[in-house]
Amino acid sequence: MTLRRILHVDMDAFFASVEQRDHPEWSGRPLIVAGAPQTRGVVAAASYEARAFGIRSAMASAAAERLCPHVIRVPPRHERYREISREIQDLFRDYTDLIEPISLDECFLDLSEYCARQRLPLARIAREIKTRIRQQTGLTASAGGAPNKFLAKIASDLKKPDGLVIVPPGQAEAFLAPLPVERIWGVGPVLASRLHALGIRTIGELAAKSPAWLELTFGRLGVEMELLARGLDERPVVPWREPRSLSAENTFARDVQDPQTVLEEIASQAEEVARRLKGHEVVGRTVTLKLRYADFTTITRSRTSRRPVETTGQIESLATRLLSRTEFPQRPVRLVGVGVSGLLDRLRPVQLELFDHEE
């Protein structure tokens, strides 16, 4: 059996770094990517120079400007960020096709087969990938390597920017033990407060509790926390690819539980996908809704229509109905995506079916 080798790559201050790279005069200066000054909004990205003033992503842009009045504020250029993200993902495909994008600036790579075939350690391949990203794009990335996704994600966050942390097999519990419980997926401020009140502040202290006690105290969540605290995570790296499809997606600056925010995002994405369908002169048959929950679990729900799908209203209506078949809003989401597949030429006759199909 091939030993699992998972790499999590996280571009450093991606949007802000792209702006500084494309505008050398902004290099080394505090910069935020946010909406136009006359609009309300939040910081989508902050350069490390801006972070030195206490500015963070998801902060109100007005608050960021109060912290640093001379901060450079630039509007987001999403097409530019997507272009560079695609370039980086093309680089990843030199190593594996098992690439799971988390957002434009984050990916999981399953390098198990490549490591085995090349007989090279994960650390060496990770350094090579980081070097190639810098040479090809002028940007830096932080990376974490481990036997599973949970450990790799935590490792990539520990030495930013331009960091690399590898968790060797068999060292998971020792690696996790001193870290705060907030590092565990799904442990937000409310749950962290409950754990602290019980005297549990580190992952090691959590792992020391009996599974039965954790289940009794926290239910199913306690079982999941206990497994993660011991460094156990069997989820595979799953690429999300719809053959012959058009889609749009967005990762929120922070986890979202407000239904209106998600519905507005679905409406916006439906409009974008409809515009692209028209541009390609195609219609579709199947609408897919993609959600990524706060713990990085990704799910999709699909509905195949009897009639060709092409308008904003059709796409939005079907995607909204699919949202009711998910665990939102009980589970917060960090990513929403809407796609249309089963594409056909707009002028091609379509045989209507008696019933819609869901999956």
Contacts with 356 (C-beta within 8 Å, 6 or more apart), sequence order? 303, 304, 305, 306
Q: Which of 231, 222, 186, 224 is nearest to 204 (CA)?
A: 231
- Sign of the CA dihedral 36, 41, 44, 49? positive
Stated length of the chain: 359
**Taking all residues of the chain, what is their mean pLDDT, rounded to a whole number?**
90
Q: Which of 182, 211, 143, 159 is nearest to 6 (CA)?
A: 143
Return phi, psi of residue 233, to 5°. -155, 105
Query: Where in the sequence is the domain holding 36, given as residue range(s)?
Result: 15-76
User: Residue 240 — very low, low, confident or very high, per pLDDT cuts 50/70/90?
Assistant: low
Which of 143, 166, 189 is at the close of a domain? 166
Segment 24-35 mean pLDDT: 94
**Is the same domain home to 326 and 251?**
yes
Q: How many CB atoms lie within 10 A of CB 232?
A: 15
Residue 236 lies in a domain: no
Segment 89-107 mean pLDDT: 91
Residue 184 lies in a domain: yes
Residue 352 scores a pLDDT above 50 = no
DSSP per residue over 3-21, as a string?
A: PP-EEEEEETTHHHHHHHH
**Is the same domain home to 38 and 57?**
yes
Residue 263 scores a pLDDT above 90 = yes
Residue 237 lies in a domain: no
**Is the same domain home to 159 and 147?**
yes
Residue 119 lies in a domain: yes
The predicted structure's pLDDT at residue 151:
97
Q: Beta 31-33 vs 141-146: how paired, if at all?
A: unpaired
Return phi, psi of residue 80, to 5°. -65, -45
Segment 175-195 mean pLDDT: 92
The predicted structure's pLDDT at residue 354:
44
Which of 166, 189, 220 is at the close of a domain? 166
Which of 132, 166, 200 is at the close of a domain? 166
**Is the same domain home to 25 and 105?**
no
3-state helix, strand, coil in the chain (%, to 5): 40, 25, 35
Total domain count, the chain: 4
Q: What amino acid is encoded at 3 in this protein?
A: L
Question: Higher pLDDT residue, 283 or 243?
Answer: 283
Residue 239 lies in a domain: no
Q: Beta 164-166 vs 141-146: how paired, if at all?
A: parallel
**Is the same domain home to 330 and 311?**
yes
User: Residue 351 — very low, low, confident or very high, per pLDDT cuts 50/70/90?
Assistant: very low
pTM: predicted TM-score of the whole model, two decimal places? 0.68
Residue 234 lies in a domain: no
User: Residue 53 — very low, low, confident or very high, per pLDDT cuts 50/70/90?
Assistant: very high
* Catalytic annotation, residues: 106
Segment 11-35 mean pLDDT: 95
Segment 282-297 mean pLDDT: 91
Segment 286-296 mean pLDDT: 92
Residue 20 lies in a domain: yes
**Is the same domain home to 346 and 274?**
yes
